Amino acid sequence: MIKIVEFLSSLKMSIVSGVCVAASLTLMLTHTSVLLDPAWGAVVISGFPIFYWAVVGIFIDRRIYTSLLIMIAMIASIVIGELFAAGEIALIMAIGGILEEKTAARARKGLKTLISLAPSEGRRIVNGREEMISVELIRPGDILRVLPGEAIPVDGEIISGDTSIDQSVMTGESLPVDKGAGDSVFCGSINHFGSIDISASKIGEDSSLQKLIRLVEEAEGSKAPMQRIVDKWASWLVPIALIIAVVAFFVTDDIVRAVTVLVVFCPCALVLATPTAIVAAIGQAARHGVLIKSGDALERMGKVDHIAFDKTGTLTYGNLSVSDVLPFEPGLTPEILLELTASAESLSEHPLAKSIVAFAAEQGRELRPNSGFKMIPGKGVSADIDGRQIFCGSGAFLAEQGISFNETKTEVLEQLRAQGKAVILVSDNSECLGLVALSDTLRESAKPMVEELLAVHASPILLTGDNRQTAEYFAEKAGIQSVHAELLPDQKVAMIEQLQQDGHFVCMIGDGYNDAPALKTAYAGVAMGGIGSDIAIEAADIALMGDDISKVPYLKRISNATVRLIKLNITLAMCVNFVAILLSVMGILTPVTGALWHNIGSVLVTLNAVLLYDRKYI
């Protein structure tokens, strides 16, 4: 049955219904009689879905929907022979349903992408021998070997080996994290360099990645679309319409007047009030690179009072570049230090190394011959440059080479780290020559955007998986005072849930897989569509297709305007219906003229939507 309803409610069948209504109107105006009024086509095509949902509401959902009032008006019109009125009512409701469906349609492919990140096999070590097994067979305590480039199959702890792990799927961190024995690793994260052995701790549904997937699924299921406002009012619209119609009949002793009341009481304009405004707003937003997936998202965005941002790829560009080249040795210039560092790192596959080499090329520096290259995963590299052994890496790595730091160098190092920068120390066999610092870059529009949000009474918050120093540095530059750092996906969800339990309406803005649960849990979710992951874009209600966060205040303004317009449209529709009821009781309107009259409300709400589309909110 539901397939029949969906078929009859389709755009093609609604067009057929419209042709039938137009033909009936033509015959009526030309006073032409035919054996079967074409309006019957509209009654059957567009009326059957109305009848179906009215029956479902009464007998299954135990609720009164506006479809019940519409069905009563159609039946009454048919009984007194006013087929055109019945067909026209059914057609208007079909158009409203199509508009609503078009604005609410959403794709759900992103979850499949997230699920595909979970490895299907792991390399278990038994009595010194490797064997590939399905992840379903892995048990807590099993020893697993993960080679460079492989995804980690379960949560665990490194028991031997050093490496760098890309765990952006969980934390959103822009940099691979150096890991060694005793450090925890997440399922689905990528081992970049050295081979490591891990002891499995959380497996199957308990792993971090599976919990992430489950969070998205649960959040999706818990966020039902808002009911149409006319359906909320149906429980008292229906009895009021019936009471007025009955009173009109007993007072005037005219069944036509009673039926006319039912016809004009049909909430056609009310049904169109919301979707027309939403279609207009979505159309204008699309022109400015903001993809709004549903009208429900617009209405929710209009109520938002707190906006939570991820850092990497959202407030920042997510691309590391060299920010500082600081020599410590007297007589050593930044240019020479850059050449030495880039030459030593030229054979490394580490993202920081690649950024340094690329920056040196941009500066026109020539790389020197590299011999004796060695890479120690998770620590650094060494190479012979011009007959001089050069070490590049962390402070711990240089300490292993016997290189010490004085207080001045340590202060410089701490200052750069406090600015959220990654630091590569450079030394020879005797002393630290200098350092190269790399930093993500705050988007130029971040600070003005935050100021605009504060002006429209939306409080910004930073929720990030990055370390606290980095988070606080970028938050200060953007003008955000509320900072929560070092958060895993479930902790971001908990923060948002707490705010919402306190009575706030929270919008989450993010770009990565790890942001998906937060995007779904938040009252409204906005994804960075240009560079954002598929799952983030799917999880969000809205996507910024150009990754331009300066559009966030615009989004808030147009959402507010849309909510106001919907309320105005509903008021206009109610006023038109009220006047029509008075004219019907007075006998001025008939079922046919009443059916045409209530289109005045439909025209008014549509015109308002056109004005919204052309208005400027940028």
Rounded distance, CA 63 to CA 53, Å? 11
Closest CA to 244 of 85, 76, 56, 59: 76
What is the C-alpha end-to-end distance of the chain, expressed in Å? 47
Rounded distance, CA 391 to CA 425, Å? 8
Q: Match 């479809």 to its residue by tokens.
A: 67
- What letter would DSSP give residue 158? E
Rounded distance, CA 64 to CA 52, Å? 13
Burial of residue 499, with CB atoms counted within 10 A of its CB: 0-12 exposed, 13-18 middle, 19 or more buried: buried
Rounded distance, CA 557 to CA 504, Å? 18
Torsion of CA 318, 322, 326, 331, to 10 degrees: 180
Rounded distance, CA 299 to CA 301, Å? 6
**CB contact at 8 A, 602 and 272:** yes
Rounded distance, CA 324 to CA 273, Å? 57
**CB contact at 8 A, 263 and 257:** no
Closest CA to 379 of 356, 414, 352: 352
Rounded distance, CA 447 to CA 459, Å? 13
Name 213's Cβ contacts closer than 8 Å, sequence gap at least 6. 111, 114, 115, 118
**What pairing do the DSSP bridges indicate for beta strands 177-179 and 321-327?**
unpaired
Out of 178, 310, 466, 541, which one is annotated catalytic?
310
Q: Does the active-site annotation cover 428?
A: no
Please provide residue 253's backbone torsions phi and psi, each rounded to the nearest 5 degrees.
Answer: 55, 35
Tokens of 5: 């309803």
Rounded distance, CA 398 to CA 336, Å? 20
Q: Match 């952006």 to its residue by tokens.
A: 168
Torsion of CA 320, 323, 328, 331, to 10 degrees: 120
- 3-class secondary structure, 456: coil
Return the ∠ at Cα 350 (arms to 344 and 354), rounded to 5°: 65
Rounded distance, CA 239 to CA 64, Å? 10
Closest CA to 192 of 313, 321, 348, 343: 348
Closest CA to 226 of 100, 79, 57, 361: 100
Rg (CA), the chain: 33
Rounded distance, CA 5 to CA 3, Å? 5
Return the ∠ at Cα 543 (arms to 540 and 549), rounded to 5°: 115
Burial of residue 367, with CB atoms counted within 10 A of its CB: 0-12 exposed, 13-18 middle, 19 or more buried: middle
**CB contact at 8 A, 462 and 491:** no
Which residues are known to be catalytic? 310
